[in-house]
Chain A
Amino acid sequence: MSEKTGQRLLLQGNEAMVEGALAAGCRFFAGYPITPASEIAELMSLRLPAVGGTFIQMEDEIAGMGAVIGASLAGVKSLTATSGPGFSLMQENLGFACAAEVPCVVVNVMRTGPSTGLSTSPAQGDVMQARWGTHGDHPVIVLAVSTVNDCFTVIVQAFNLAEKYRVPVIVLSDEIVAHTREAVVLPDPAAITVIDRMRPAVPPEWYIPYEDNSRGVPAMAEMGSGYRHHVTGLIHDVRGFPTERPEEVDAFIRRLFHKITNGFTEIQLTNPVMMEDAKIAVIAYGAVSRSALRAVRQARSQGIRAGLLQLITLYPFPRKAVEAVLAQCRRVLVPEMNMGQVIREVKRVNRTTEIVRHNRVDGQLITPAEIYAHLLAM
Chain B
Amino acid sequence: MTEKTGSLRHDYLRHDKKFPHVWCPGCGNGIVLGSLIRAIARLGLEKDELVLAAGIGCSGRMPVYVDFNTLHATHGRALTFATGIKLAKPALTVIIVMGDGDATAIGGNHFIHAARRNIDLTAIIINNQIYGMTGGQHSPTTPYGSFASTAVWGNIEHPFPIAELAVTAGASYVARGTVYHAAMLDDLLAAGIAKKGFSVIEVMSNCHTQYGRRNQMNDAVTMLRHFKEQAVSVDRAARMTEEEMAGRFTIGVLADVDKPNYTEEYQKIRERARQR
The answer to whether residues A71 and B85 also contact, given A66-B73, A239-B16 and a CB cut-off of 8 A, is yes
A233, CB-defined interface residue at 8 Å: yes
* Majority-rule SS of B interface residues: helix
A117, CB-defined interface residue at 8 Å: no
Interface locus among B76-84, B150-158, B181-189: B76-84
Are B87 and A28 in contact, with the CB atoms below 8 A? yes
Residues of B within 8 A of A59 (CB): 109-110, 113
CB distance from A254 to the nearest CB of B (A): 22
B228, CB-defined interface residue at 8 Å: no
The answer to whether residues A71 and B69 also contact, given A49-B273, A60-B109, A62-B80 and a CB cut-off of 8 A, is no
B195, CB-defined interface residue at 8 Å: no
The answer to whether residues A30 and B89 also contact, given A63-B110, A224-B48, A230-B72 and a CB cut-off of 8 A, is no
User: Bound state CA distance, A329 and B85, in angstroms?
Assistant: 51
Pick from B47, B51, B79, B276: contact of A50, CB under 8 Å: B276
Are A54 and B80 in contact, with the CB atoms below 8 A? no
Residues of B within 8 A of A54 (CB): 87-88, 266
A260, CB-defined interface residue at 8 Å: no
Pick from A56, A60, A67, A74: contact of B92, CB under 8 Å: A74
User: Bound state CA distance, A73 and B83, in angstroms?
Assistant: 11
A257, CB-defined interface residue at 8 Å: no
Return the chain A residue nearest B109 by Cβ. Answer: A59
Are B89 and A68 in contact, with the CB atoms below 8 A? no
A92, CB-defined interface residue at 8 Å: yes
* Majority-rule SS of A interface residues: mixed
User: Bound state CA distance, A69 and B79, in angstroms?
Assistant: 12
Residues of A within 8 A of B81 (CB): 66-67, 69-70, 73
Pick from A56, A224, A241: contact of B83, CB under 8 Å: A56
Are B64 and A50 in contact, with the CB atoms below 8 A? no
Q: Chain A contact residues (Cβ within 8 angstroms of B): what range?
A: 35 or more
Q: Chain B contact residues (Cβ within 8 angstroms of A): what range?
A: 35 or more
A75, CB-defined interface residue at 8 Å: yes
Are A74 and B74 in contact, with the CB atoms below 8 A? no
Return the chain A residue nearest B91 by Cβ. Answer: A224
B270, CB-defined interface residue at 8 Å: yes
CB distance from A250 to the nearest CB of B (A): 21
Are A63 and B63 in contact, with the CB atoms below 8 A? no
User: Bound state CA distance, A183 and B228, in angstroms?
Assistant: 71
User: Bound state CA distance, A185 and B113, in angstroms?
Assistant: 41
CB distance from B166 to the nearest CB of A (A): 15
Residues of A within 8 A of B273 (CB): 46, 49-50
Are A52 and B82 in contact, with the CB atoms below 8 A? no
CB distance from B44 to the nearest CB of A (A): 17
The answer to whether residues A228 and B77 also contact, given A71-B87, A71-B88 and a CB cut-off of 8 A, is no
Are A75 and B88 in contact, with the CB atoms below 8 A? yes
Residues of B within 8 A of A232 (CB): 64, 71-72
User: Bound state CA distance, A58 and B63, in angstroms?
Assistant: 25
CB distance from A35 to the nearest CB of B (A): 21
User: Bound state CA distance, A30 and B276, in angstroms?
Assistant: 23
User: Bound state CA distance, A204 and B143, in angstroms?
Assistant: 47
User: Bound state CA distance, A66 and B121, in angstroms?
Assistant: 15
User: Bound state CA distance, A92 and B85, in angstroms?
Assistant: 19
A96, CB-defined interface residue at 8 Å: yes
CB distance from A221 to the nearest CB of B (A): 9
Q: Could you list 13 examples of A-B contacts with CB < 8 Å?
A: A50-B274, A54-B88, A65-B80, A66-B80, A67-B87, A70-B80, A73-B71, A78-B88, A96-B73, A222-B89, A231-B71, A232-B71, A242-B72
Binding site for A on B (CB under 8 A): 16-17, 47-49, 51, 53, 63-64, 67-74, 77, 79-89, 91-92, 109-110, 113, 266, 269-270, 272-274, 276
| Apart from the given pairs A62-B110, A70-B82, 10 other A-B contacts in the complex at a CB distance below 8 Å | A50-B276, A58-B83, A69-B84, A70-B80, A70-B86, A70-B88, A71-B84, A72-B88, A78-B88, A223-B51
Nearest first, the 5 A-B pairs at minimum CB distance are: A70-B84, A66-B80, A67-B84, A74-B88, A232-B72
